[in-house]
Amino acid sequence: MDERLFEASRKDDTATLCKLLEEDPMILEDSSRHASVDTPLHIASLLGHSDFVRKILNLKPGFARMVNSKGYTSLHLASATGQVEVVRELLRSDWENKHELCKQKDRKGRTALHLAVIRGRDNVVAELISACPESSREVTDTGETILHLTVMNENGCQALKNLVERLKNEELLNWKDEEGNTVLHLAAARKQHK
């Protein structure tokens, strides 16, 4: 792997990316052969480098679905860190497969939406639900919905209100996790009575 490519992704250096591609048109493919490391797209997505992300996705839109050793796609990383512009780029680049991308789960059974909810990234949550409303019905490996995860978030009360208004889905409100808890059970246990 060429370290210059990874350094360019960390610095949002699209000029170096173009230069490296001229030197070796296969450099992106070579960088993605090792599933145990983050690809340059993962790094740029995590750091919010939307220009770099856009450049890679214009060349290789399928890279959006590549996973690292934790099962994270670039969408997982951008969602968890609140990089809403990168989230838009990732969804736009592979529009035909955006539903698959939104529903893709990491090694713990969490989607990008789950990670955005856990981290309280409301702007990303809105973007993901707008792009793929059915992703809001995905559950984690432990049976938790996005509403369960919202209640467990320390800023969950307002976020929960926003989600309930946006989704208007009673099935999600009454969904039980693997321990038999509904969202209302968890909210009561956390003394979130609002």
For residue range 56-114, what is the model confidence (pLDDT) as tens digits? 999 999 899 999 989 999 999 999 999 999 999 999 987 778 899 999 999 999 999 99
Question: How many domains does one find in the chain?
Answer: 2
99 plus 150 within the same structural domain: no
Give the residue numbers spanning the domain of 143: 139-194
Per residue in 138-171, pLDDT (tens digit) is 999 999 888 888 877 766 545 555 666 666 555 6
* pTM score, whole prediction: 0.82
Residue type, 162: N
Q: Please identify, among 93, 112, 138, the residue that sits at the C-terminal boundary of a domain.
A: 138
At 111, phi and psi to the nearest 5?
-90, 175
69 plus 117 within the same structural domain: yes
61 plus 146 within the same structural domain: no
91 plus 163 within the same structural domain: no
86 plus 127 within the same structural domain: yes
Spatial separation of the C-alpha atoms in residues 52 and 9, rounded to whole Å: 7
Q: Is 8 exposed, middle or buried (0-12, 13-18, 19+ CB in 10 A)?
A: buried
